[in-house]
Amino acid sequence: MKFILALLLSIASSSYAADKIFRLHLSNEPSGLDPNKQRTSSSSYLLGNLYRNFFTFDDQKGLVPDLGSECKRDKKQNLICTLKKDLVWSDNTPLTADDFIRTYKKILSPKNSVPRADLLFKLKNAEEIYRGKLGDDALGVSAPDKWTLKFEFEKPDPEFEYNLATSILAPTKEDLTAFTGPYKLKEWKKGQKIILEPNALYKNGHPKRPFIEFLFIEEDTVALQLYEKNELQFLRRLPTLFIPRYKNHKDFHWFPVTRLDYLGFGPELAAQEDLRKAFTYSLNYAELQKIFSSEGRPGCIGLPDSWFPKNAPCFDFDLKKVPSLKNTKSYTLMFSALGGEDHKRATEWLQNQWQKNAGIKTHLEVKDNKIFLQILQQEPPALFRKGVSPDRPTCLSSLETFAPTNPENYLRIKSPEYEGILSSLALAKTTQEQKKWCLAGAEYLMKNHLMIPLGAIHFSILVKPEFTGWKLNQMNQLDLSNLHPRP
């Protein structure tokens, strides 16, 4: 209660008109405002509205011009992209193609250790630059003029245009004092909130964009209490326990998102496929689906059915497939505190299922997200719960999560067979071929019992009706450029 009171006092101290403020929350305070160094999706709602790229992604329209106007392929499959003319930063200095190139070199610099530098690896010499084997002048990106970028590729990358719709590769100034998006930083009150004001020099969007406040609230139930008190206008995650209560309310929104959520097996279980099978087939997936009011069934790989020849592949609850084990050891199941109360409830249910149906003992460990990711990078526990938002709305992007160069490859997959599947998927020319290789990749992960998929994910959010114009897409990207008070 003291925490809520402190937040209310902080909100009341705002110096601008209360009816022109759009408040939402982040589950933790960002470590910084550099989108190029973003490690998780938790701060993407904030960074995606401070920084923009060539395109934005719309579920119906696909790639929509933002800072850019168009991209075309030439005969050599080089990508030629044109910026809109007369672009400026929020400080009114010119924004040109050179700003993009300087940012790419920053991302690939070995001294910066940028987590998602792999998004550029298919560009000519990019990975060698990142490994320190070549200087950044060798990068296969050039600017024929100040409004044009030419991308040359080391390996085929038919989906690179989608990378130009993420703020992770958005141009940044070295001192991070200017912005390219619909908003700019007004104030950062450490430990409390970040305040954004409209960037009047951003050429797209609604002219009556309100001020925005991002509050830092770790607990979903606390955020819900603030929403019910009308101190939040946007609740980014409604706990599943409350879905039945709110599902028929006008402010309830149910969003299918392209995500890959799964239970991963760490090195401790790498040579124990029977044990991995026991973990997999002893879960009553239909029961879990009912408990959490989920649309997608756990046990099925959470990618759209339209990406496969038929339906997405699934595991079933089947005690006949659970091997007989002689094992009294207890295994660690670790998860991030970022998942909130829902993940805690889910892991307790998993623990009970494994004990009851397979006689496997587990103990649960919840970690701060930063610590959790460090552990996954260094030495993953026996089991861990992870969710991934792919960079692009494609099967290739989802399956590349477990490619050798992807920092999200916590399963430690190093398989020529799997890499061959990814290569074939990247080169597939027809929809039928793409579906074939998408299925092959998903089946490789599941037939080898490398992970347990947790089904298609839907986000349940609450939004006050006083504001309109916000847009959330299947990539979980929140666009507030057209946000405005409802007439």
pLDDT digits (tens, 9 = 90+) for 175-222: 999 999 999 999 999 999 999 999 999 989 999 999 999 999 988 899
Residue 377 confidence (pLDDT) above 60: yes
Query: What stretch(es) of the chain map to CATH 3.40.190.10?
Result: 23-49+179-256+459-485
Q: What is the CATH number of domain 53-169?
A: 3.90.76.10
pLDDT confidence of 5, banded at 50, 70, 90? very low
Within a 10 A sphere around the Cβ of 14, how many other Cβ atoms?
Answer: 16
**What's the CATH class of domain 23-49+179-256+459-485?**
alpha beta
Least confident of 15-29, 68-82, 407-421, 466-480: 15-29
Query: What stretch(es) of the chain map to CATH 3.90.76.10?
Result: 53-169
pLDDT confidence of 83, banded at 50, 70, 90? very high
Least confident of 189-203, 238-252, 350-364: 238-252
Least confident of 2-16, 91-105, 319-333: 2-16
pLDDT digits (tens, 9 = 90+) for 111-143: 998 989 999 999 999 999 999 999 999 999 999
Mean pLDDT of 291-302: 88
Pairing assessment for the beta strands 148-151 and 141-145 based on DSSP bridges: antiparallel
Least confident of 66-70, 314-318, 383-387, 456-460: 456-460
Determine the pLDDT at residue 103: 98
Residue 160 confidence (pLDDT) above 90: yes
The CATH superfamily assigned to 257-457 is: Dipeptide-binding Protein; Domain 3 (3.10.105.10)
User: Phi and psi at residue 52, in whole multiples of 5°?
Assistant: -125, 165
Determine the pLDDT at residue 12: 47
Determine the pLDDT at residue 261: 94
Determine the pLDDT at residue 1: 47
pLDDT digits (tens, 9 = 90+) for 22-65: 999 998 899 899 999 987 677 899 999 999 999 999 999 999 99
pLDDT digits (tens, 9 = 90+) for 406-438: 989 999 999 999 999 999 999 998 999 999 999
Task: Provide the whole-model pTM.
Answer: 0.86
Residue 8 confidence (pLDDT) above 90: no
Mean pLDDT (the chain, rounded)? 92
pLDDT digits (tens, 9 = 90+) for 260-286: 999 999 999 999 999 999 999 999 999
